[in-house]
Amino acid sequence: MPIFTADLPLSLYIHLPWCVRKCPYCDFNSHEVKDNLPETLYLEALLQELDDHLPLVANRPLISIFFGGGTPSLFSAQAIEQILNGVKQRLLLTPRIEITLEANPGTIDQMRFQAYRQAGINRLSLGVQSFQDNQLQTLGRIHDRTLAIKAIDIAKQAGFTNFNIDLMYGLPKQSLDQALEDIHTALSFQPTHLSWYQLTIEPNTLFYHQRPTLPSDDLCWEMQLAGQAVIQQYGLQQYEVSAYSLVEKQCVHNQNYWEFGDYLGIGAGAHSKITDMKTNKVTRFSQIKHPHAYLHATKRQIQNKKCVEKNDLIFEFMLNALRLHHGVSYALFTQRTGIALKDIQPLLNTAKQRGLLLDHPTYLRSTALGKRFLNNLMEMFLPPSGGS
């Protein structure tokens, strides 16, 4: 019989799907804003959708709210405030809740950042990507280096002490020195958090069809090792594949995903994972993907609703938890999946024998080899062919 904890943490993700321009590497559910941003219509739709989901999460306080995109910073502070007020009227918030908003440096000004803070945003995530103008141009960004630096400055002036910078490496024709210079520049602004992603070429993007020349795998590996050493010099610790933070400044919201907590996603294409506290069943579902269809649906039917079966739960847990640099306790595996540890012991033993998992009695953690070959390690937990 599953044995979930009664206090399974719950996060809220709010998807705001519009951008000024679509970046050629981006496969997120983001769409160029054509005319006016339908702010009011969209926020009404979000709150209606939240009403529909309330029975699923009644009496469970939120530990985090994340406005992701798209480019949430296209929305006015008044709209963000109205959404947050609507959430507060419907759900309980934990006292130290983390409320993050993703901002694109090409869409900000001082007044707007101050107003976001007054609206209740207490963490910013700035999509900088690189501080080199030629790279920013290749990446199709709407901002240059100067604007990126200005955005960071005004975020700090507006009182955002807790902020993240998104950077990417392995960029077209990038050298090792250029990648490291980007990290030095980012960390000179003393962010509490750095997300440092290797650029991946995703299907359905312009880069997939017009592939730029990327650094070799060996060079990217070199960048990763050298970059991690630089980040450490600045006092940030790696806690996930691409995430680094100061002590106790990990992103609560993302950490909850990786620790297999629950989350409700609202907005076009948003995904949810909710555990029914009475039956202990884990359900996943998503929302209508295209913003236009989402806005104009008479009834916002959730899609792809699926109860996650045992074998899939094991794989999904591993897919998330093994991303965490220090892993998780084995106790968390049972708490979050309801599956006894003995059921996966043979798989764990094989992974340990191959040197991919640490041989530790209470902690599930990948070794250095496991981190290098993370996909192989995760695949060991794939359900038997055909799934469950």
What φ, ψ does residue 128 adopt, rounded to 5°? -90, -45
To ligand SF4, the closest distance from the beta carbon of 127 in angstroms equals 5
Q: Which residues pair with 238 in a beta bridge?
A: 244
Comparing CB distances to ligand SAM, the nearer of 28 and 189 is 28
- As a 3-state breakdown, the chain gives helix, strand, coil percent values, each rounded to 5, of 40, 20, 35
Determine the straight-line distance between the first and last CA of the chain, rounded to whole angstroms: 18
Q: Give Cβ neighbours of residue 174 (< 8 Å, ≥ 6 apart).
A: 135, 215, 223
CB of residue 303 vs ligand SF4: minimum separation in angstroms? 21
Per-residue string for binding with ligand SF4, 70-109, x by CB under 6 A?
A: xx--------------------------------x-----
> 122 or 195, CB closer to ligand SAM?
195
- Compare residues 95 and 203 and give the one whose CB is closer to ligand SF4: 203
Distance from the Cα of residue 306 to its chain's centroid: 22
> What's the CA gap between 85 and 170, in Å, rounded?
41
By CB under 6 A, residue 165 contacts ligand SF4: no
Sign of CA dihedral 119, 123, 127, 130: positive
| Closer residue to ligand SAM (CB): 70 or 327 | 70
Closest CA relative to residue 62, chosen from 243, 324, 256, 300: 256
CA distance 114 to 100: 14
Q: Is 26 in the site for ligand SF4 (CB under 6 A)?
A: yes
Among the listed ranges 67-75, 116-124, 319-327, 329-337, the one in contact with ligand SF4 (CB under 6 A) is 67-75
**What does the binding site for ligand SAM look like in residue numbers (CB under 6 A)?**
25-26, 28, 68-69, 71, 102, 104, 127, 129, 166, 168, 197, 199-200, 202
The residue (of 39 and 182) whose beta carbon lies closer to ligand SAM is 182
CA triple 144-148-152, angle to 5 deg = 170
Binding letters toward ligand SF4, positions 109-138, x by CB under 6 A: ------------------x-----------
In the complex, the residues that contact ligand SF4 under the rule CB under 6 A are: 19, 22-23, 26, 28, 30, 69-71, 104, 127
